[in-house]
Each structure stands twice: as C-alpha cells, then as structure tokens.
Amino acid sequence: MLKKYIIFALIAVLGFYLASTFKAIPFGANRLGDLNNPETVSAFYLQKSPEDLHVANTITAIVVNFRGFDTLGEVTVLFLAVTGLMSILYRKEEEETEERLAIPSSSLVRTGAKILFPLILVLGIYVFVHGHLTPGGGFQGGAIIATGFLLMLITYKTFYTNHNVMTWLESIAGLGFVAAGLYGLIVYGSFLQNTAWTGNLNDLISGGLIPLIYIFIGIKVGTELTSVLDTLLNIKPRKK
C-alpha cells in the first residue's frame, strides 16, 4: 500500500514540474495575432530562419537546426527498428518465395512501371534536395524513393535490391549526419551548429549545413524503407 502512495507522489511531483515547464514556455503569441512579438517561440523561429540561416522553409530550420539533435535521435530510432526487423525477416537470395515469381504482371503495368520509376526517384531527390526552400525534406523524399522501389518490386517478380549497396548507402548517410554534427562541435563549439556561411535566401546553395543534412536523411530513410519492403516481399513461409 505504501508503494502505491510513493508512486502516486512521484507521478504528482513529475506532473507538477512538467506542467510548470510548459506553462513557462511562451508557445504561440502572447497577444492574439501578435506573431512579431520577440518573446514568443513562433516569432523567434519565423524571424531567425530567413535572417540568420537563410532558409525559406521554417519547418526545415526547426527540424534540422534548432531541433537537429532530436532529429538525429529520430533517425537513430528508425535505424534500430529497421535493423531489428531485418535481422528477424532477412532470408538468403536462394530462399526467395515461389509466390513472388509465380504471378507475372501485364505488359502495360511493366511498361508503366519502367516509365514511372525514374520519375519517382527524381521527384524524391528533388524533394529532399530542395527541403530548405520548399515544403518537404529528407523524410518525405526518402519515403517517395521507397515507393518507387516498391512499384518495381511488386511489378517485376524478379526485381531485387542489392542489400549490400543499401547497407553502404545507409551507413555513409548516417556517418555524414554525425560528421556534420561533429563539424559544428569542433569549429563552432556546438554539436550540429550551422556554418557561418549560409548563402542567400531562396538560393539552392544556401542554409549552410541544413540542405546537406537533409540529403543524408533522404538517402538514409530511402534505403532503409526500401530494404524493409524488399525483405517483407521475400518472406518464405516455413515448411510444416
């Protein structure tokens, strides 16, 4: 019985301090419609993103720069989830399912897939390369690239991705993200700190390290999701 009271007291104390912290943070505007108030979080982001970082997409500036360390954690969680799933479901190439090879697609579907596949890849690359200028970014672009590979995987029953290449691309992208963070730490004294040179607003080469990090994220997310899709489509039923 005492244990329950102790747990309840700890939860109450934790809840009190969490509520106090959130209450102290000036979310939104202090006055209705006043987004120019420098005391608000929203005004800070809206002002600093184009002025200091030269990034037109404020969401990108928040995700990759102001909240970059948290984004690195999200990418790490995705990597661990994919690694765990792949370790459970991965099968050797000679053990592919007969079902995948048994149902051929029509010539119309195969032709359409051939035409759409490179266009989908270009769209995905465009989305994460221009993530600091337009809506989108690394996660969205990587997901688009994965859908292109999914189209080929379900259209051509003999289409397989090279897991070694996917692993290398994913590893290089992940190391690139960490290297960008260490660069900020070594040069500017803060992990994932952006560079002093950020270019001009709305230029493709602008935003300092932000577009480069989004390219790493796009490659990492695209390769990880593609590997998962390929593995899921190649699960061989266990023989009874």
pLDDT digits over 6-51, tens only? Answer: 888 899 999 998 888 888 766 655 544 455 555 567 777 888 888 8
The answer to whether the CB of 135 falls within 8 A of the CB of 55 is no
pLDDT digits over 159-195, tens only? Answer: 878 888 888 998 899 899 989 888 888 888 888 888 8
pLDDT digits over 117-139, tens only? Answer: 999 999 999 999 998 888 888 89
Residue 145, pLDDT > 60, answer: yes
Q: Is residue 48 part of a domain?
A: no
- pTM tops 0.95, yes or no: no
Residue 97, pLDDT > 50, answer: no
Q: Is residue 45 part of a domain?
A: no
The answer to whether the CB of 219 falls within 8 A of the CB of 142 is yes
pLDDT digits over 45-86, tens only? Answer: 888 888 888 888 888 888 888 888 888 888 888 888 888 887
Q: Which domain holds residue 211?
A: 65-232
Residue 39 confidence (pLDDT): 59
Query: How many CA atoms within 13 Å lie on the side-chain side of 52?
Result: 14
Q: Is residue 19 part of a domain?
A: no
Which residue carries 């799933």 as its tokens? Answer: 85
Q: Is residue 7 part of a domain?
A: no
Q: Is residue 33 part of a domain?
A: no
The total number of structural domains that make up the chain? 1
Q: Is residue 153 part of a domain?
A: yes
Judging by beta carbons within 10 Å of its beta carbon (0-12, 13-18, 19+), is residue 117 exposed, middle or buried? middle
Residue 96 confidence (pLDDT): 47
Q: Is residue 173 part of a domain?
A: yes
- Would residue 199 be called left, alpha or beta, if left means φ above 0 and alpha means ψ between -120 and 50 degrees? left
Q: Is residue 47 part of a domain?
A: no
